[in-house]
Structures are given as structure tokens and as C-alpha cells.
Structure 1
Amino acid sequence: MPLLFDDITSITNKAYIYTSDLEALYNRFGLRVVAYFTFKLNYQLHELNVWGYHLVNVGIHILASFAVYWFAFLAFKTSLLITSSHTLDIKKIHLFALIAAVTFAVHPLQSQAVSYIVQRTAALASLFYIAAMASFLSARLAQKIKPKIVYVILTLIFCILAFYTKQNTFTLPIAFIALELIFVYQIKQKSYSQLIKPSIALLILASLAICTIWFYKPDFFSLLERFSRETTDFTRLQYFETQLSVLALYIKLFFVPIGQQVEYIYPIEDGNLLNSLGYIIAYLGLFIFSLTQIKKAPLIAFSLIFYFVAHLIESALIPISDLVFEHRTYLPNLALCMLVALCFLYLFDANKNAAIVGFCLIVLTLSFLTYQRNNEWRNPELLYKAELAINFDKPRMHHMLGEYYRDTGEHEKSVTSFKNAYDLVGNKSELDNQGFAYKFAYFNNYIASLRRTRQLDKVIEVILTTLPTIKENKYRAPIYSNLGFIYLDKNQYDKCEEPLFMAKSLGPNMVEPLIGLGICFAMNGDKWVAQKMFYQALQLEPESKRIMALGKELGL
């Protein structure tokens, strides 16, 4: 499986950081430094050879599945201690943990966090998160002091690793509170009424803290507002309302994993919540139901609550440009895997043979779907085409397909793909999570592909027609540069100077216009100006062998 999508920006384009020290790594990646430290190790061992990256990703997924087994075993055992007066059936507990872990391991919805190299962040964060919950539960239930201390230390280590792997792990304290209230309080036969006074005290302290911060640092909350969003394209309420239906999509994909996509073109809601009352009522109903099950079925209660807790960072009130991403379900799917395991245990008690056959069939089906999905990831053309077969209106996918065809020398096909990408991007006034800024990058690649197919007159016509519609200089500069090089291709040296000078003026840090001008003046016999242009190009790229070779070829 090659490097795809954000693998390029996060691994290929960041190679210079992976050869520097840990301080530079932390300064660049901050709260994801642990995940990117693993990329650094990969890069230092085998640079951009992808097999090592995939090997680590698969290893992390296997370890995460073992962590699921560990946590599921503890959670189910504790649940039985609360609800059952009979001797514990250890085999049944192991069976529950095995079903949950195997479902987690083979489910195709988990594939994006494994096959998509850079989404190692999601899998690694989940590994630490689940291990931290298992350690916490072990520490709280340990009878002897030595194992308690060991588990407390492990909990702290896993928490620190999780917090510095990905920000979605910041919900760990909430998960600990849920574990404490649902499992530990009942095992230790504590009364929930004991929580009233501490809760009131905590509320008072929190209120005082907020008032103090507001008094001494009045701009704190505006800073918090700015730093707790990844995009300003839509409001928090718009994002929150959209995520209500996205969560339903994630749940549907877990139980019916058909039509998976890397990129979802998803409509943004208006934020008034009226169109989403059904989802709100359903989720509130599930929450109330989970509260009613705390004493009767604590595992069900925890699973339902945890599913939404695990989605809090990425699918609630923190606006993120990409509205839907399957790797965001990697951690929350733990809850659904445990609910599936419970269902099979009930079936196992009713009809052992049917349960075994049913589970084996489901595992085989999920494994086959995962194999198919990974096969698509292995072949970029297959992956892009699969995406576009589900939804043709994906500019980014058309563009990537165009890049694939360009790199494989299929330039006629790349022309079509790049044109589709350009035509499908919305206008600047329209909300569209493809990004208006990419529109003219797509256009540049479109005209470059036309140029490769030697349709030079058509390229000039397309550029001259499109240029008047483009206002921003940063988009106009590379287009003027392309136009100048097309005139060079046509040996029209009298026409190449004007667009290249325009590109140089609009993009003073661009090296291509300077190279083009150097060639243009050299072909017109003005070697002195040509040398000046190449000198300026070398000022921008001092070590460029390409510029030196071109200058030498032109006799400069």
C-alpha cells in the first residue's frame, strides 16, 4: 500500500523533521508527538519504504485488540460480580472478551486507522486509551497494595502516552469517572448519595475558578474559543447538529459495513437543531436507558455511555473541516464490540451451536470485507474509482486520480480527471469541505496535463478564458507561469516574456518564472539578462542541480 492522502504531507513532506532532534519534533507536532516519534523511528530505519510503516500499524492494531480483550475481560467480570450471586464462570468471561476482541480486530470499519498510514495516530491513541482504562479498573479493584501501585503507575504512563498521541484521548478522565460510578462504586457497595456533597463542592470551585479567570484574564475565553476549533467555516451548533446524523452513519456502518469511503461529501446543517430533533430524542433516550441499566446491566450502561464519550472531541462541539472520517470510530467501536459480544453470549446460552456458527459466519464475512477494503487501499486507482463510484462529486478524489494517471504516463486520462476536479470545486461563497483554495491548483494541473498531451493551442485558449475570472494574485501567478512555458513550447519567444514577468511580479518567491525568463532571454540572444534570471533563481534554490544544468545547457 503506497503513501496516500495526508501520508504525503505528514510523512513525505516532513522528512526533514524526522532527521532532527526530539525538540524539533515536539515543536512541530505538539500533542501528537508520541505518534510522530514512531514515524521518526520508521523514517530513520528505512526512510520512505512503506512496508515498515504498515508493519508498525498492523502491530499497533494487534496490540489494541489485545487491550480490548484485557478491558472487556475486566469489565464483564466486574459486571458479573455486581449482578450475579453465583460463582463466576471464568470460561464465559474469556469467551466474552474473545468475541469483543476478534470483532474489533477483523471489522472493516477499523481498516482506515490501519491501512491509512498517518491514521496510526487514531489506532495508537486508542491502544493507550483502552490500556489506561484497563489499568485504572485493575488498580481500583486490586486487593493488595503492590499490584495496586503497579496498576496506578501503568495508568499514569498510558494516560501520558495517550494525551501526547492524539487529542481525542482528553476524554479519559470522563471514562474514568464512568468506570468509577458504574463499576467500582457498586463493587465497593458505596452509596451514590455520597457524591452529593463532593459534587456541590466541585461545582462551587469550578464556578469560582471561572469567575477568577474571567476577572484576571478577560480574553481567556475568546482564546479558548479560537483554539478549540479547527475551522471557522461553520458555527459550533452547525457542526454539532451535523454530527448528530454522522453518529447515526457511524453506527450504521458498524452493523452494515458496506459503501465505506475515505472521503464523505456530507451536508452541513443550519444549526437550529429543528431538523435533528429525532436524533436528539433517540440519543437522550439511549442515555436515560443506560442510566436505568447501571444496577441491572452495568456493562450495557457503560458501553452506551462510553460510545458517546469517545466521540466527544471529534463529533460534538469542536468544529473540524472534515465532517466525517471512519478512523474516528476506531476507539468508540470498542463499545459496540462489547455489545455484540453480549448478544452472542445470550445466544450462546440459548443455543450453543447456533451461536458458534453465527459468530464464525460473521467473522468470515467481516474478514472478507476487510480484505476487500485493504485490496482497494493497495491499489490507488482502484481506491479512487471506488470512491467516485459511490459519489462522483469529489474534486479531491478526481485530482488524486489525475495525479496517479500523470505519474503512470496516462496523460489523456489525467486531463479528464484534473478537469473534473476543477469543475466540481464550489465557489468561494459556497461552503464546501473540498476547499476553494485547491480550485486553482486543480486548474494548474489540468492545463499542465493538456500541455503534456501537446494540446498547446487549447491550453492557451483555456488559460486566457479563465484568467479574467481569477482575482487573487496567489492563484494567478502559477497560471501566468504556465502560460509563459507554453509559449516556450511553441517556440514563440516573443510572447513568453510578458506572462512570465507577470508571474514573477505576482509570485516573487516562485522559481519557475525566473527559469522561464532565463530560457526566453537566452533563446532571444540576450545572454546577460538570461544569466541574471538564472542567478535570481539560484538565490531562491541555491542547491538546485536542475537550474545549474539548464544554465550550462544554454551556455550561461
Structure 2
Amino acid sequence: MAGGTDKLAAGGAGQPNADGQARAAGPWAIWGSVGIVVAVALAAYLNSFRGQFIFDDHRSIVESPRIRRLGPPWKYFTVNRPVVELSLALNYRLGGLDVRGYHAVNLAVHLAAALALFGIVRRTLGSRRLGGRFAGAEPYLAGAAAAIWAVHPLNTQAVTYIVQRAESLAGMFYLLSLYCTIRGTEGGRSRRRWFAAAVAACALGMGTKEIVVTAPLAVLLYDATFLAGSLRRALRKRRGLYTALAATWLIIVYRLVVLPAPKGAGFGLKDLGPWRYALTQLGVITHYLRLAGGFRDVLGGAAVVGTLLGLTAWALFRRRAWGFLGAWFFLVLAPSSSIMPIADVAFEHRMYLSLAAVVVAVVAGAYLLGRVVLRRVVATASVRRWLGVFAGGSAVLAVTTALGIATVRRNRDYRSEIAMWRDTAAKQPGNFRAQMNWGLALKRSGRIDEAIERYREALKIKPDYAQAHCNLGAALILNGELEAAVREFSLAVKCDPQLTDAHNNLGAVRAGQGRIDEAIEHYRRALRTNPSAIQARCNLGEALIRKGQYAQALEQFKVALRLRPDVPAVHCGLGSVLVHQGQWDAAARWFRRALRLNPRHAKAHAGLGTVALRTGNALQAREHFVRALRLDGSLPDAYYHLAVALGVRGQYRPAVKALRRALRLRPGDLHIRRALVWLLATCPLPTVRDGREAVRVAQRARLDELNKDAKLLDALAAGYAEQGRFDEAVRKAELAAAVAARRGRMALAREIRERAKRYRAGRPYRDFRPAPARIAYLLPELASPVASSRPASAEGARGPAR
């Protein structure tokens, strides 16, 4: 008997309507409505396939080593959102980094959620609890609600922004859990299967996102409202179901207790306590409801939210069916809009599932209101029915079309990170993350000054925002403001000592200044905070190469290769170590492997140029270096080695130009400074020699470094001699010879003393030596072709977001 009652409550399509006629909808109405829902959703989101990977997509997909291999099942027990991670890994397995595959999965998830919503609404409107008020109209109203929800522009962030798949996937499992429970209450032999599916969907949702923590409560409340008639009866009749649903909370407990907490959430957030966050959410919820900003003050938000909560509580107490919609709205928002602080206080994708309650309420309310109006103004039932169909259909068509057009326009924003974050910042002026992300997008487009302005705006809103300090420092580096960049990186470390990017960036600056020991220490700190940071590990390997510690550098690149065999920079690093060990053929193979991964990888071309230079093919070396610099004009070693290749062929003027460019990019590199000073002081061509500039460039080196570098002192002495300042030339040459002798380089010391004899005789030195001798002098400790340490600039793998 209980099973039959549940079946009537869930189905009920043959009940009389308000006109006294039973108008059960046939299968064609159901499948026609389903087809319309699918069609309008596809039309609205078809242009989303033109979107690219944006912001957090880079960290979670493009640069994530975890999704590169499906791996054993237990690997997903170590990540905070295992179902999302598995879906991304499957995407990568099937299509690599083809962005269309990721968009296709996101859209499929959204369609599945819309169809689950359709099924829930259709069965609910036809339930006995609603007394036949929607008899015959259930599939049409369910189709209207599902279609409007599917194309609503508020959902674009959860569908088009790939990494926000977590929200739509969690929403799909939430809806499926409820839908399967409803189907299970209809009885029959498949009853247990439906209940098992409900529990499975709930468990998968718990492994997707935290919002599903309220799903068991929502299912129980629905049962009490529409099926069993009370909470007590629902628990008594389906005790096993609710025990199993409650058991899925253990997944959330495991994620909270065992796994590392996600950044940007929790009670430990600085300057964002539970009660302050809760007060903020009063305005945020109102903002969600109005979709275009909320009340300006908290009291206004409190009034609206308080009223809605009061009405919902009253309706549930009086067992009014519409009270469930209010409860659904607040239950879904509770994990993100209650007392658990989240760094981003508002994000439109959090409205994804709660929006369904608003849409269903509007559609059902409009239907009931329209029926009352028509009964008062139209006497004939048949005319009233067709007029209602026409008016309702026209309204749904108009609303769906308008919302669909808005969604198509919003999807275009996701083709451009700048447009997306500018729009977000305009709608949420106090959103510091939006300001920073806008800055990142501007930086990627080469608009550095505008990016700096956005970072500073983010820091005005949140002065202790470590990632904004870090990204501002990275942008200042590109503007040549190194000391200002160091200050920002230091502030970032002070705000968050565990910020990997800040340590990596400090290391990159120090490496560029020639302070290699400090750079190595910062890289090691970065790796202590995140051993999987490939950029920091490659930078450490490059710094070790510059220190001559080739075995240690090789070990770093081998670790990087195990972590990310698909990163060209890792292969370049291995090739660079082999270059220094004189294994030219093996080095060239690694550089070619890097080019197979990315034919436009500038450092790989530079590496092949270095191999060609060291094997005596200056012409081929020149071609590789020119190609590398066309792809990336910020490689100081490529300019350096290009200058050597040009000098070997007697092209001294372009060689000096290349060395000047290299020194601007890396002012702390003594190899580059030494080569430029030597060429300016000793070039065989008088039109190239410039003793005054040679001395000026040499004296810009740090005094402690200058007095310890025999060859730079030798070049400075030659510069003095070129100006006719022979006494100073002799003193510097004698100092250079003494430094060389102390270091056990007796051959070099003798060579410098021979030049000092020329200076005593009042004669400058001209380097007329053959090409091999000039290469041996300029490149005794070959600089790394890939040692161009780069600062990280984005949150996560570069460094923000959510």
C-alpha cells in the first residue's frame, strides 16, 4: 500500500485539472520538452567551444602534472577534489590539451544536470501533494524551467570556465541524488537500484565539491514535503536510504581531516572571521538574487535574507510545498555563504544550483497567476486553454531567447581573459582577486603598465595579498625595476612564507644579478614549499650549472624529467649539462627532443646553437641563435653566444650590439660583461674599439667581483691602454696576473704579464688571434644556453584563483 501511495505521489499525471478534465501529457510532450531543453542549451553554449584555457585552467590543467597520467585509483585519495581531478585526467587521456574536449565535457555535464532538473520538476508538479494544480502541464512547465535555467547567463562561469566544472559536476550529482530517490519511491523491482544510484551520486558529489554536503538533508526534506508527509515518516519508511546517504558525509570528513585544506578557505583566514564573513554574506546573497548587485549596506541584505529565511521557515512549519524551494536555495548556498570563511566572498558560479530554485518558483508562480487571471477574464474553457498555451509559450520563448543571447555574449568574454576579469571587477569593485586576475591577463597581452596598475589596485583592497605582491614584482622586472621587484617579493614572503613563486622569483632576480649563491638558496626554499614546482627546479639546475656543479644540476633535471617529461625546458636543461660535460651529440639529442615537444621553443634552438658553436660551426650556430631570438628576445645567453659566433666570422659591430643587449638583460653576468669589455678594448677594427666605453662597462661590475676576476681585470687593463692610460693599465694587468696566479691559472697569468710588458712600452693590445683562440678565451666556462631564470607570474603553478 505504501509503495502504491508513493507511486501516485510521484506520478499522478492523470488527475483532474482546474477545468475538471483529466489532461495527462503523453510521451510526445515529455520527449518534445526534453528535446527543446537540449536544443536551447546547445544553441546557447555552442560558441563556448571557441573559448581558451584561462587563468586557473593553466594551473589545474595545462601545467598540472597530476592529470598527465590516469594512475592507480588510490592516487585520487590524495587530492582534495578527486572526482574533478579524475574527469580532467580522462579529458587529457582522450584529447590531450585540445580545449574543445574540455568544453564538450562541461557542456555534457550541464545538459545532464538540466535533464535531471527536468525530471525532478515534472514529477514534483504531478505529485499528489500539489493536488493536481499542474495536471497536464507538468512536462511543459518542467521543460520551461529546465530550459530557462540551462541558458541563464548566470551559469556561464560554471559551464564555460573549464576549471569551474567542479560546480556544475557537483550540481549534477546533487540533482541526480534527488531524482534517483524520487524514482526509487515509485516502487517496483528497480526500487533498490534507484536508491543505490542516489547514494552513489551523493558519494560522487561529496568527492566533487563541498556544496553536496547538504544533499542528504535536501533529499530528506523533499521526501517529507512531497512524498512521506513528515520527517518522522520519511525516516521510518526509508531508514536504510538515509543511513547510506548520511554515510557519504564520511567522504567530506576524510577530505577535511586527512587531506590538505584548500587555500583560501577555513576558519584560519586572516582578517576574515566567521561572523564577519557571515555578515558579508547577507549582502552577497541579496546580490545573487538580484543578479546585478545587491544592497549597498549589510542591514539591507539582512532584511532581505531575514525575510526570506522567515518565510521559508514558516512555510516548512505549515507544510507548504513552496517552502522546499526556499530551503533548497539556502541549503545549496550554506557551505559557501554561512560562517565558513572563503577568501573570495562572492562568485557567481556558486549560484549555479540555487538558481534552479529561483527559476522553478518563478515558472510555477507565473503559471498559477496566469491561470487565475485567465479564469477571471475568459469564460470559455477551450479558449482559455489555447490562450494560456499561446501566452505561456510566447513568454517562455521570449525569456529563453533573451537569456540565451546574453549567455552567448557572456561566452565571448571567455575568449579573452581581459574582458572576463574586467567585467567581473566592474560588477564587484571590492573583489581583489578579480583585480589581480585582470592584471595577469593584461600582462599576458604585453600590457605591463596596465597590469601593474591592476596589481596595485588589488593591494589597495587587500594590502597583505601575497600573490598580488608576487605578481607585481614579476611585472616590475619586465619594466626593469629590479629593486622595486625585490621589495615586492620580500613583502610576498613576509605575508606568506610558504609562497613558492615568491622564493622562485627572488632567486630569478638574484641569478640575473650574478648572485648565484643567494639564488640557489631561494630556489631551494621554493622547492621545500613545493617539491613539484618544475620552474623552480629547472631554475635551480641552471644556477648550479653556472656554479659549475654539473652533477647536482643533472640530478635536479632528472627529478624534473620524472615529474614532467612533457616540459621542453627540462629536456633543454639536460642538454645544457651535457654541453658543459663535452657530450655534444647527446646534448643535441635532448635539444631536439625539446623541439619535438614544442617546435617554437627558443631555448632549444639556442642550445643547438651552442653545440654548433662549440663544434666549430659558427655559421650554423648563428642561424640557431637568430631563430631563438626571433622566438624570444629575452634570452641573454643566446645574445652572448650569437656575439661570439659573429666575432669568429669577423662581424664585430653586430657582435658588440648583441653583447650590449645581453648585458642589459643580465647585468650581473661576468661572462657577458667580460666579453663586451674585451671586444671594445681589443677589437682589430678601429671603428669598433672604444676604450672609454670598455672601462665604463668594466667599472659597473661590483667591486668585489671585479677584483676577483682575472679576465675582467685583464680586459679593463686593455681598455685603459686603448685610452692611452698605460700606468693604470699596468697596475690592473699586474693585479689580474696576481689573481690568476692565486687561483693556480699560471698560463693565464703569464699571458697577462706579456700584455703588461706592451703597456709599459706604451703600446695597446689588439686581439689578432685566430678564431679558435678567441673562442677559447671568451668561452672557457661556457654559460648555459638555457640559464635564463624566469620569475613566476600567475597564482598556482605560476602562482591566483577560483
Q: TM-score, normalized by length of structure 2?
A: 0.52
Distance 1:477 1:318, change over 3 A: closer
Residue pairs, 1:89-488, within 5 angstroms: 90-140=135-185, 142=186, 144-186=187-229, 230-233=266-269, 234-253=272-291, 258=292, 277-279=302-304, 281-291=306-316, 294-295=319-320, 298=321, 300-349=322-371, 350-351=373-374, 352=388, 353-390=390-427, 396-397=433-434, 399-408=436-445, 410=446, 413=447, 415-426=448-459, 432=462, 436-450=465-479, 456=480, 459-460=481-482, 462-463=484-485, 472=494, 477-478=503-504, 480-484=506-510
Shift of residue 370, structure 1, vs aligned partner? 0.6
Shift of residue 36, structure 1, vs aligned partner? 2.3
Distance 1:14 1:182 in 2: 45
- In 2, are the aligned partners of 1:419 and 1:446 still within 8 Å (CA)? yes
- In 2, are the aligned partners of 1:406 and 1:449 still within 8 Å (CA)? no
**Larger deviation: 542-551 or 105-114?**
542-551
1:515 maps onto 2:542 in alignment: yes
- In 2, are the aligned partners of 1:477 and 1:504 still within 8 Å (CA)? no
Distance 1:131 1:397 in 2: 33
1:4 maps onto 2:54 in alignment: yes
Q: Over aligned residues, Cα RMSD in angstroms?
A: 3.7
Distance 1:468 1:321 in 2: 22
Of 567, 572, 584 in structure 2, the residue corresponding to residue 546 of structure 1 is: 572
Bigger relative contact order, structure 1 or 2, given CA contacts below 8 A and separation 6+? 1
Distance 1:3 1:63 in 2: 23
Structure 1 portions without partners, runs of 5+: 199-219, 261-265, 451-455, 487-495, 520-529
- In 1, are the aligned partners of 2:313 and 2:323 still within 8 Å (CA)? no
Identity across the alignment (%): 21
- In 1, are the aligned partners of 2:544 and 2:552 still within 8 Å (CA)? no
Q: Which residue does 2:79 correspond to in 1?
A: 29
Distance 1:146 1:384, change over 3 A: same
Distance 1:153 1:340 in 2: 32
Amino acid at match of 1:6: D
Shift of residue 67, structure 1, vs aligned partner? 0.7
Of 520, 523, 526 in structure 2, the residue corresponding to residue 504 of structure 1 is: 520
Tell me the alpha carbon deviations over residues 277-316 of structure 1, each in whole angstroms, 9 at most, x when there is no partner.
5245313322234236625xx1x12111111112222222
Distance 2:120 2:493 in 1: 57
Distance 1:393 1:275 in 2: 18
SS in 2 for 1:14: coil
Shift of residue 92, structure 1, vs aligned partner? 0.9
Amino acid at match of 1:59: A
Q: Which residue does 2:40 correspond to in 1?
A: none
Shift of residue 513, structure 1, vs aligned partner? 6.7
- In 2, are the aligned partners of 1:112 and 1:327 still within 8 Å (CA)? yes
Residue pairs, 1:74-93, within 5 angstroms: 74-78=123-127, 81-84=128-131, 90-93=135-138
Distance 1:56 1:26 in 2: 20
Distance 1:466 1:438 in 2: 10
Shift of residue 174, structure 1, vs aligned partner? 0.9
Distance 1:15 1:49, change over 3 A: farther
Q: TM-score, normalized by length of structure 1?
A: 0.74
Distance 1:162 1:461 in 2: 48
Amino acid at match of 2:453: N
- In 1, are the aligned partners of 2:112 and 2:172 still within 8 Å (CA)? yes
- In 1, are the aligned partners of 2:176 and 2:201 still within 8 Å (CA)? yes
Distance 1:145 1:129 in 2: 24
Q: Which residue does 1:531 correspond to in 2?
A: 548
Q: Which residue does 1:212 correspond to in 2?
A: none
Q: Which residue does 2:584 correspond to in 1?
A: none
Distance 1:14 1:27, change over 3 A: farther
Amino acid at match of 2:452: K
Distance 1:468 1:18 in 2: 34
1:61 maps onto 2:106 in alignment: no
SS in 1 for 2:189: helix
Distance 1:50 1:76, change over 3 A: same
SS in 2 for 1:324: coil
Structure 2 portions without partners, runs of 5+: 1-50, 237-253, 375-387, 528-535, 562-569, 580-609, 611-778, 783-802
**Count of residues in correspondence between the two structures:** 469
Distance 1:407 1:69, change over 3 A: same
Distance 1:516 1:424, change over 3 A: farther
Residue pairs, 1:46-57, within 5 angstroms: 46-57=95-106
Distance 1:370 1:36 in 2: 27
- In 2, are the aligned partners of 1:129 and 1:162 still within 8 Å (CA)? yes
Considering only CA atoms, is the larger Rg found in Structure 1 or Structure 2?
A: 2
Distance 1:130 1:481, change over 3 A: closer
Shift of residue 398, structure 1, vs aligned partner? 5.1
Distance 1:514 1:18 in 2: 23
Distance 1:315 1:130, change over 3 A: same
- In 2, are the aligned partners of 1:393 and 1:424 still within 8 Å (CA)? no
Amino acid at match of 1:504: I
Amino acid at match of 1:359: V
Distance 2:465 2:126 in 1: 53
Amino acid at match of 1:249: H
